[in-house]
Homo-oligomer: A and B are copies of this chain.
Amino acid sequence: MVFVTCDLEGVFTPEIWIEVAERLGIEKLRITTREEKDYDKLMKMRIRTLKDNHVRFEDIGRIINSIDLLEGAGDFLNRLRKLCPVAVVSDTFSEFFNSGFAQKLNWPLIFCHDLVIRDGYIDDYRIRIQDSKKRTVQALHALSYEVFAFGDSYNDISMIKEADSGSLFRAPANIIAEYPEILATDEYDSLYSKIEDFVGKEKERNDGR
């Protein structure tokens, strides 16, 4: 049987920190892992910057709640969930996800991380597990699933490679060029077709006498 794992930001929603930076008008919050490779350093800077600017968690929550899904994302995910089990695997935080996207995407399962909120401010964060994307695929393999994975970014590559099949979705040209062996598409419909095809082949192979 087939299980789908997929990324969140850039695939179903805009990049959350970029949106937050723009809405707050705080330039420093636009820095991402593309500029700062040390994730812990990056998160500590973000938390410090929010505190320095007296931005409370509820302010961030309100901003996230006002961000729309990417066009067609909700319909695509609902359709996909009727085809096979789906888990969103993201490096975002459950508190961000629950601030609006969860409801807009109709409460899909998400594997992600947690924030620590104290006195109304984001005070720390808890990474549940390192290399969560790849390890989620391994856990599903241990449960006898064949996995199809998709995402848009460098941090999705190990998940896609660990999976039995997968695709890049709206990935930047440099990533597509760097991984020519991975399928790439920019449209929900063609991504759905690829997954439907994979599900059909698995079923044919395993239902055969």
Contact = CB atoms under 8 A, between A and B. Distances in A.
Interface in A63-114: 78, 81-82, 85-87, 94, 98, 102, 106-111, 114
Contacts of A110: 85
B128 A139 contact: no
A206 B81 contact: no
Contacts of A94: 1
B87 A206 contact: no
A177 interface: no
Interface string A128-147: 11001001101110111100
B143 A142 contact: no
A48 to B, nearest CB: 17
Nearest to A136: B143
A207 interface: yes
A66 to B, nearest CB: 19
Contacts of A132: 143
A41 interface: no
Contacts of A108: 107, 109
A126 interface: yes
A26 interface: no
A7 B116 CA distance: 31
Contacts of A126: 1, 206-207
A151 B140 CA distance: 22
Contacts of A78: 107
Contact of A111 (B85, B106, B136): B85
A128 B1 contact: yes
A110 B206 CA distance: 20
A85 B106 contact: no
A116 B81 contact: no
Contact of A109 (B109, B138, B144): B109
